[in-house]
Amino acid sequence: MFGLSRKSPPPAAIERMHEVAGRSLPLRIVQNDRARRLTLRIDAGGQGLRVTVPPGMRLTEIDRFLDRHQGWLEARLAKIPDRPTLRPGVKIPIRGMPHLIVHEPSRGTVEPAMGDDGPLLIVHGDRRFLARRIADYLKREAKRDIEALVGKHAAKAGRRAKSIRFKDTTSRWGSCSAEGNLSFSWRIMMAPPAVIDYLVAHEVAHLKEMNHGPKFWKLCRELCPDTDRCRAWLKRNGSALQAIGFG
């Protein structure tokens, strides 16, 4: 178990709650052997905080750091929109295209359709489980699309993924382990197809280059020529997608 003594340095990672702007947010304190200073980051959607610290940093110093940046946190969190609730009558993007959510009480699944005023997402079943059903739908779509894209990009890169996993992460859209395991946030299915393609190309490029150096970005652009535009789109719009509540 983690020790929280104020007189001893923290272990590799500590998780606790942090009060800011009238909200109690999960705070993760991570020790990084390569860190030379403390860095503070707000998770996408404003759902949590992360502090990266150098080895041996005492908790009292971390607390003082957080106190000094309380105003910065409050200002940044104030700019993040409230977590939208999925319900009939609101729109959710599917592959970048806004779909109006329509609820049907009859038994069934989730299916896209075209209405008189644009795309629809028809959700069948008990309304209490509407958000969960949409999340399950996005997971199925992610598995189908992303597994195909991984195969395409991995073949071009001359590499092979050991496994492909799907998660609901709030700090990153994808990851690649040293063993070749790829992970993706299924929320990316709300982004335009080109952005989905970029994300997959990015993680597949890590199968060959486990860094963000010049060789990595060269390979990433070879796999996805639209890398720069799609990367910028994700930086601008990613927080809004992460803020959508599926709970």
Profile the chain (247 residues) by mean pLDDT over runs of 10 residues.
40 80 84 90 79 91 94 84 78 96 90 94 93 96 98 96 91 91 96 98 97 96 97 89 81
CA distances from 218 to 58, 64, 67, 159, 160 (A): 40, 41, 41, 16, 19
pLDDT of residue 8: 44
pLDDT of residue 5: 40
pTM, 2 dp:
0.71
41 and 71 in a single domain? The answer is yes
120 and 52 in a single domain? The answer is no
129: domain CATH number? Answer: 3.30.2010.10
Q: How many CB atoms lie within 10 A of CB 46?
A: 24
pLDDT of residue 4: 39
User: Distance from CA of residue 183 to its chain's centroid?
Assistant: 11
pLDDT of residue 146: 98
Q: How many CB atoms lie within 10 A of CB 225?
A: 12
What's the total number of domains in the chain? 2
2 domain residue, yes or no: no
37 and 100 in a single domain? The answer is no
Give the range of the structural domain holding residue 22, as residue numbers without chain letter: 13-78
Three-state SS at 241: helix
Q: Which residues pair with 20 in a beta bridge?
A: 23
pLDDT of residue 170: 67
pLDDT of residue 217: 97
Q: How many CB atoms lie within 10 A of CB 4?
A: 11
216 and 178 in a single domain? The answer is yes
End residue of a domain, out of 53, 78, 103:
78
